[in-house]
Amino acid sequence: MAEEAKAKGNAAFAAGNYTEAIKHFTEAINLAPTNHVLYSNRSAAYASLHQYSDALSDAKKTVEIKPDWSKGYSRLGAAHLGLHQYSDAIAAYKKGLEIDPSNEALKSGLADAQSAAPSSRTRSAPAASPFGDAFSGADMWAKLTADPTTRAYLQQPDFVKIMQDIQKNPNNLNLYLKDQRVMQAFGEENPLSEASRPNKEEPPVKKQEEEPEPMDLTDEETGIKNRKAEAQKEKEAGNAAYKKKDFDTAIQHYTKAIELDDEDISFLTNRAAVYLEMGKYDECIEDCDKAVERARELRSDFKMIARALTRKGTALVKTARCSKDYDTAIDVFQKALMEHRNPDTLKKLNDAERAKKELEQQEYFDPQMADEEREKGNEFFKQQKYPEAVKHYTEALKRNPKDPKAYSNRAACYTKLGALPEALKDSEKCIELDPAFAKGYTRKGAVQFFMKEYDKALETYQEGLRHDPNNPELLDGVRRCVQQINKANRGDLSPEELKERQAKAMQDPEIQSILTDPVMRQVLVDIQENPRAAQDHMRNPMVMNKIQKLASAGIVQIR
């Protein structure tokens, strides 16, 4: 239930419904109060609503529960930063970096906190910005995230870079007035617009009738724009070549696109896909690693990071030669799912785990050693050291899971130990592996007899006799079962035995099915009230068999 509430909270958060997200995270916390992730998620939701005091409280709880989790300190730093507690924010980010020195989010947060700190502003002594606090580190990103339109822009690396440039120097805003996304970020409907006005007391300047002419681009800006456009053309050409399975040509186009524009990681992930198809797994993995590193630098869409990690995991699976090789791939798939829970990635993870398990069994398979372990188990069995015998029989089955003798022997040990469900399971596995092996039937019949399921034990012994008609153990088992069944038929059971047998029978699904069958219920009524009808019923083999089961269970008596 806690996971369900958490999932709802995550969905609400992703949709920008932070109040709704807080509601669901709170519900999850009430169900799982020691789950540090829930406090972390709620802290992020509070911060998105600028409720930094509540965000701080949850962040403190996060690090209290999980002091070695770096993300908790990221939440703590963001909350302190939102409250303008710069020294505390810096300390929190530094603490997180001690745990995870390569964490880009912590590095970025620390840089924001240090640049926002009063001492930093005094040293650099920049000119006062006419835009107030609109561009303060955490505040600006929180406001952009809160607005649905600008939140979508944050998935675009070039927009993020523009906002980072404006954040470093607010006066650079003039360089990007041509960009409609930037205008939207500072438009009438965006939270940044009010904070960015030079004088909040004065109304905004009324727009002129004519739009101002766009500023001329610098040579550098023109070059960047042209290179990005050319890079997209190269990507499209690469896609077309890939569809035609002209992989060498596709590689050339994607490589050219990367050279022209290193801020679009789809070029890297596309080239990695081609390398994967070509069987060049090392090159694929290298491109995926570059894509993840660059995406974190650019704060790219988490789905792109997940895609790169999934592609890397796929390449690692292709190169796996032993069970341990799968560990790295499994770890990469798990990281990808942390970025974005994609069904395809989840399937690849499950397939990798299954393949690892199968390979482990193959690597461990050794029939000769299995026979040696089984013999060791036999020696302990003779000494009546049944737990030790079970240990060696289990090892024998790990070495050779297809050995019916090991299952039969372990079933005998479990029977001696009174572990009847385990003994029954092993004896059934023994019969499954070798239906002609009489020991399997004697083991299973013995377990059923001890469980006082005499009719079932009789069926098991009779089935064994079809494969080995003269087997003395099976014949003796039939004799003992018939004795017990006849004893019930004659009513020779003591009141205690009858009560015990009836109570056990009522838990048997087969007995329950017989008693609830309308036809059988009428048969039982006729047996008591209409002897002639009862005789007719008894001529039906199927009815007679069911009556016999009820008699064996002590439910009815046949005289």
Architecture of domain 367-489: Alpha Horseshoe (1.25)
Cα distance between residue 442 and residue 82, in whole Å: 75
Q: Which CATH class is domain 509-552?
A: mainly alpha
Q: What is the DSSP string of 296-334?
A: HHHT--HHHHHHHHHHHHHHHHHH--STTHHHHHHHHHH
Residue 368 near residue 386 (C-beta atoms within 8 A): no
Residue 300: predicted pLDDT: 82
CATH, domain range 225-364: 1.25.40.10
HSE of 24, CA atoms in CB hemisphere, 13 A = 19
Cα distance between residue 192 and residue 19, in whole Å: 20
- Report CA-CA distances (Å) from 218 to 222, 225, 230: 6, 11, 18
pTM for this prediction: 0.39
CATH, domain range 2-122: 1.25.40.10
Q: Where are the domains of the chain?
A: 2-122, 137-196, 225-364, 367-489, 509-552
Q: Which two tokens mark 275?
A: 């390398």
Model pLDDT for residues 409-430, shown as the tens digit of each residue = 999 999 999 999 999 999 999 9
Cα distance between residue 386 and residue 75, in whole Å: 56
Contacts of 396 (CB under 8 A, 6+ apart): 370, 371, 373, 374, 377, 403, 406
Cα distance between residue 502 and residue 193, in whole Å: 81
Is residue 130 helix, strand or coil?
coil
Cα distance between residue 3 and residue 428, in whole Å: 38
* Residue segments in the chain with a per-residue pLDDT below the cut of 50: 121-132, 188-191, 193-217
Same fold, 367-489 and 509-552: no
Residue 314: predicted pLDDT: 95
* Helix, strand, coil fractions of the chain, as percent rounded to 5: 75, 0, 25
Residue 47: predicted pLDDT: 87
353, with CB counted inside 10 A (0-12, 13-18, 19+), is middle
